[in-house]
């Protein structure tokens, strides 16, 4: 599923990375625990999170995430957006809460990180 | 047999509590590994372990020195910190055990997965620690022979 489609499904705003919306996303994970993301997320995944600090971008960089969706209308500070821009990590923001965001994407066929091996 | 010289060596400082720069060292290491042409899955586990070790210094210690030596077929990392040390290493390795304070948890860290993740990502992990002095983390990563060349 392309990021562009994810943007539509979640009625999300693009904070940075408009030019990267053609990226193909194969699976996603939703978490507010960066420790968990670091330990369990697969590469080239999409992260849905309620965290907006700069470490989210750092973590995304380390594990090669393809994009981040901030849920519940959250938006990071400018410095964080700039870091994401530098690292070519597109940022989206949706008003939907975590559960609904993940649920909508899953219903449309976007699988979870732990399902990678049987994909 | 003489020791093979590293292709790249790097030494950086890590400052405890400096969340502005936390991750800079691992980010730099990631770029170096990519430029050196190592395969992505190998880089990924080096960088994740490096970032966990870097964050542990930022979160739990006062300051640290990060040293890395990159060879044609392996990566050696040493992270030496001045800090409180780890009184019970076995306990610290348990997933879910963390002494991270609330403000760290609010950032999304402090779930107590770092050390076990470092063990999972590295081929060799050794920790020396002295209470009220500091901690030294030594990690080795070997490039599998099918990935070489
Ligand atoms: N460099 C260090 N200096 C002092 N104590 C440390 C150091 N590294 C780890 N510890 C201790 O070991 C515990 C477990 O470390 P670990 O990295 O597994 O989890 P964490 O850092 O608390 O959380 P996470 O890594 O999941 O964000 C820490 O909470 C801390 O008490
Ligand atoms: Mg840790």
pLDDT tens for A101-112 read 999 999 999 999
Instruction: For A74-93, give the secondary structure using H, E and C.
Output: CCCCHHHHHHHHHCCCCEEE
For residue A117, the model assigns a pLDDT of 59
C-alpha–C-alpha distance, residues B87 and B91, integer Å = 9
Q: CATH no. for residue B15?
A: 3.30.565.10
Take residue B53 and report the two structure tokens written for it.
């070790």
Residues of A in contact with B32 (CB under 8 A): none
For residue B136, the surrounding DSSP H or E stretch is strand B134-142
C-alpha–C-alpha distance, residues B36 and B142, integer Å = 15
Kindly state whether residue B92 falls inside one of the protein's structural domains. Answer: yes
Query: Which residues touch B81 (CB under 8 Å, ≥6 apart)?
Result: B14, B16, B57, B61, B62, B63, B64, B65, B134, B135, B136
Domains of chain A as residue ranges with CATH = 3-111 (3.40.1390.20)
SS3 content of chain A, % helix, strand, coil (to 5): 40, 20, 40
B111 Cβ inside 6 Å of ligand 1: yes
Locus of tokens 């809460």? A97
Helix (H, G, I), strand (E, B) or coil at B90: helix
Separation of CA B112 and ligand 2 centre (Å) = 6
pTM of the model as a whole: 0.95
Q: What is the mean pLDDT of each run of 10 residues along chain B (149 residues)?
A: 83 96 97 96 96 98 98 97 98 97 95 96 98 98 80
The residue range of the domain holding B64 is 8-147
B43 touches chain A (CB under 8 A): no
pLDDT tens for A43-65 read 889 999 999 999 999 999 999 99
Number of domains in chain B: 1
Kindly state whether residue B3 falls inside one of the protein's structural domains. Answer: no
Take residue B145 and report the two structure tokens written for it.
């022979």
Locus of tokens 């609904």? A100
Kindly state whether residue B2 falls inside one of the protein's structural domains. Answer: no
ipTM: 0.91
Residue A118 has pLDDT above 60, yes or no: no
């Amino acid at each position: 599923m392309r990021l562009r489609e994810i943007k539509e499904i979640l009625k999300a705003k693009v904070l940075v990375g408009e030019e990267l919306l053609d990226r193909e996303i194969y699976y996603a994970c939703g978490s507010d625990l960066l420790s968990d993301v670091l330990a369990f997320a697969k590469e080239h995944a999409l992260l849905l999170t309620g965290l907006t600090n700069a470490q989210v971008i750092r973590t995304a960089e380390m594990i090669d995430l393809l994009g981040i969706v901030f849920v519940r209308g959250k938006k990071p500070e400018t410095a964080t957006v700039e870091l994401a821009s530098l690292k070519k990590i597109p940022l989206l923001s949706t008003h939907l809460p975590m559960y609904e965001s993940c649920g909508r994407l899953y219903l449309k066929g976007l699988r979870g990180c732990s399902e990678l091996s049987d994909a | 047999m003489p020791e093979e010289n590293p292709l790249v060596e790097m030494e950086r400082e890590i400052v405890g509590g400096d969340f502005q720069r936390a991750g800079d060292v691992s980010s730099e290491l990631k770029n170096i590994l990519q430029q050196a042409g190592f395969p992505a899955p190998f880089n990924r586990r080096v960088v994740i372990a490096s970032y966990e070790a870097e964050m542990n210094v930022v979160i739990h210690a006062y300051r640290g020195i990060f040293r890395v030596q990159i060879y044609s077929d392996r990566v050696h990392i040493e992270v030496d910190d001045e800090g409180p040390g780890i009184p019970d290493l076995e306990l610290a390795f348990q997933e879910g055990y963390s002494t991270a304070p609330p403000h760290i948890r609010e950032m999304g860290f402090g779930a107590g997965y770092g050390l076990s993740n470092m063990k999972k990502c590295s081929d060799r992990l050794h920790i020396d620690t002295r209470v009220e002095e500091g901690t030294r983390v030594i990690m080795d990563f070997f490039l599998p022979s099918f990935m070489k060349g």
